[in-house]
Homo-oligomer: A and B are copies of this chain.
Amino acid sequence: MEGKVESLWEEVRELSLGTTVDRLHSPPTPLQFLRDFVSQNKPCVISNAISHWPALSLWPTPSYLSAALSSSTVSLHLTPDGHADALVPHPSHPSLCFASAHVQPTPFPQALDLIRRPPNHLVAYLQQQNDCFRTEYGELASDCDGHIPWASEALGCLPEAVNLWIGNHLSQTSFHKDHYENLYAVVSGEKHFLLLPPTDVHRMYIKQYPAAQYSYSQEKGEFRLELEEPERYVPWSSVDPCPATGNLKQESLKFPLYFNGPKPFEVTVKAGEVLYLPSMWFHHVSQSPGDDGCTIAVNYWYDMQFDIKYAYFNFLQSLPCRSIDDPTTPESACNEHEKIPTTIMPLPARPQYRNCHLERTAVCYLKMVATLEILGNIFESGVESLMSYGGR
A: which residues have CB within 8 A of B? 1, 4-5, 7-8, 11-12, 14-16, 30-32, 34-36, 38-42, 153-156, 197-199, 305-316, 318-319, 360, 363
Contact = CB atoms under 8 A, between A and B. Distances in A.
Contacts of A38: 35, 39
B11 A314 contact: yes
A315 B39 contact: no
A33 to B, nearest CB: 10
Nearest to A363: B15
Main secondary structure of the interface of A (DSSP, over half): helix
Given A4-B318, A314-B11, A315-B4, A197 B31 contact: no
Contact of A34 (B35, B307, B309): B35
B34 A308 contact: no
Given A4-B319, A318-B4, A311 B16 contact: yes
Given A41-B308, A308-B16, A315 B8 contact: yes
Contacts of A14: 360
A305 to B, nearest CB: 6
Given A11-B314, A31-B31, A315-B7, A308 B156 contact: no
A35 B306 contact: no
B15 A153 contact: no
A312 B312 contact: yes
Contact of A31 (B5, B154, B308, B310): B154
Contacts of A16: 305-308, 310-311
A196 to B, nearest CB: 12
Nearest to A41: B308
B307 A7 contact: no
B309 A308 contact: yes
Nearest to A38: B39
Contact of A309 (B4, B154, B197, B309): B309
A363 B119 CA distance: 56
A207 to B, nearest CB: 19
Given A16-B306, A31-B156, A34-B31, A11 B311 contact: yes
A8 B154 CA distance: 28
Contacts of A35: 34, 38, 154-156, 305
A272 B307 CA distance: 29
A312 B314 contact: no
Contacts of A316: 312, 315
A40 B156 CA distance: 14
Contacts of A315: 4-5, 7-8, 11, 199, 316
A360 B360 CA distance: 34
A197 B311 CA distance: 12
